[in-house]
Every structure is written in C-alpha cells, then in structure tokens.
Amino acid sequence: MLAYLQQKLWRFWDQSVSGIGHSPLESFAADDTLCHLVGQDMSPTTVRTWVHDRSVVLGIQDHRLPHIVDGMDYLRAKGFSPIVRNSGGLAVVLDPGVLNISIVLSERHSHIDINTGYDVMVELIKTLFPKAAERVEAYEIVGSYCPGSYDLSIGGKKFAGISQRRLRQGIAVQIYLCIEGSGSERASLIRDFYEKGLQGEQTKFDYPQVRPEVMASLSELLDEKLTVQQTVIDLQKLLMELSDELQISSLQQEEMELYSFYLNRVFERNKKMLSK
C-alpha cells in the first residue's frame, strides 16, 4: 500500500481551519470535484484535510427513520446541524475535535479495487501515528455509530471510520478521525438520536444499537494531548517525506467552475432528501 502513498507529486489542500464554519455539504462537493480532476489527470493525486463545526451527517437510511423529524429536532436542540448525504453509510458526528482526511487517487490508468482503497488509508494512518501503528486494528466495531469492516480501533475502541466515493475515474477515500474530546459523548448523541428516531418501532433496516463505551478519541486511547492542528502539520510533513514535491494549493480559478457544478448538485440533492 505504501506504493500508492509514495508519489512524485502530492497536492495538499488544508481546510481544517478555513472550512470549519461551512456546511459539510461543501466538503462533499470538494471531494467530488477532486475526484473529477484527479480521475481525469487534471490534478495530481491529492490529500485534503477538513473540519466542520457541530454537525451530524446522516445517511439515506437514517432519513428513513419512522420519526426522523423528532430525531433531527433533538440534534438541533443539542446544538448540532443535521444534513443528509445522498449515499450509503449512517450517522457520524463532526465537530472541531474530529479531523477528516480525503485521499484522492486516479484509476484512469490502472484499476484500484475497493479494499485497496481502504488499505491505503489504513496505511496512511498507521504511518501518521507510528507509536500506535502496531495497536491499530481494522474490523467492524459492533455498537459503534456508522459501523463498517474498516473501523479503526485500539483495544476494541473505535476512533475512526473510512468510506469511499468514486466518480469520473477518481477515488476519494475519506476518514473521520476522532482526535480530541470524548468519543463516548459523541456516541451518546447518536444513540439518543436513534432512540428519538425509532421510538420503539420495528423497522426492516437494522439501525445500530450504539454503545458509547466502545468509542473513544485518539487522545483518550493514547493518553496524549493530541490536537487536530498538530495532526494536520504532521500529515503535511509526512506527505513531504512521501513525495519529491508537495504542492500546497486550494482550488484554482479554472477549477472553481467545476466545483460550483458539484456544489449545486450536492445542495439540490440534500434539499430533495429533506423535503421527502
């Protein structure tokens, strides 16, 4: 997997500070744009870091909860803005202590299967946190929110989840890393959201029975005062080591038109989901 991380040129776009007050929908549009650009050889392979203020990103299945309005009202009452992404996966919490990283690769010239995409991200995280590398495991943590076969955990406690987005021969492998704060508090929020959304009703879809004790932040697990911003700095240094050249750049003027297209599409899809 290290071969995918060792590039002649990495592009690095840091939105860990600049994007914090923006809607997470803008991040989905940004990754769609990068998939298009990287997949069509219009941009080098790219890593993007992003952080958003108190939001809960819901999946399509979440929006089908029998009492979804009550669930979303509960999140708002707790100070979190709910949005719906038009893709798989389930509810995840975003806040200033959660760092999201997207690795955007091209498969225009050679196929990259789904598991390989996940493995590349796992390798990046282990390389980024060398002290924890041997302890990090990838398997589904039952009782976590948004459970998946590539949950990252230490000692059975999940601190990260990975997803993928594929578009125009580009692949965005995305991870949310709970760096700071309390993982169990975030899990409690989602547990209560499902309780409000279900209200005891039986559904065809099995929603996760969230157990807050199986989730933690990396700071808690490593017993270190880790920060999102130091992690971003460490990631930038790592990319410099893994490449001949690191290009630090946001979207350029000629790329903004494409971003506007994807941004409009993402907001329209979210609007349709919320109107159902």
DSSP H helices in the chain: 2-5, 24-39, 68-77, 114-128, 183-198, 218-222, 228-241, 253-275
Q: Are 187 and 195 in contact (CB under 8 A)?
A: no
Q: Are 159 and 147 in contact (CB under 8 A)?
A: no
Question: Could you give all domains of the chain from N- to C-terminal order, each with its CATH number?
Answer: 2-275 (3.30.930.10)
User: Which active-site residues does the annotation give?
Assistant: 146
With 0-12 / 13-18 / 19 or more C-beta atoms within 10 angstroms meaning exposed / middle / buried, residue 268 is exposed
**Planar angle of CA 67, 194, 226, nearest 5 degrees:** 140
Full pLDDT tens readout for the chain, 276 residues: 568 999 999 999 999 999 999 999 999 999 999 999 999 999 999 999 999 999 999 999 999 999 999 999 999 999 999 998 866 789 999 999 999 999 999 999 999 999 999 999 999 999 999 999 999 999 999 999 999 999 999 999 999 999 999 999 999 999 999 999 999 999 999 999 999 999 999 999 999 999 999 999 999 999 999 999 999 999 999 999 999 999 999 999 999 999 999 999 999 888 877 776
Per-residue confidence (pLDDT) for residue 1, from 0 to 100: 59
Per-residue confidence (pLDDT) for residue 225, from 0 to 100: 94
| Gyration radius of the chain over CA positions | 18
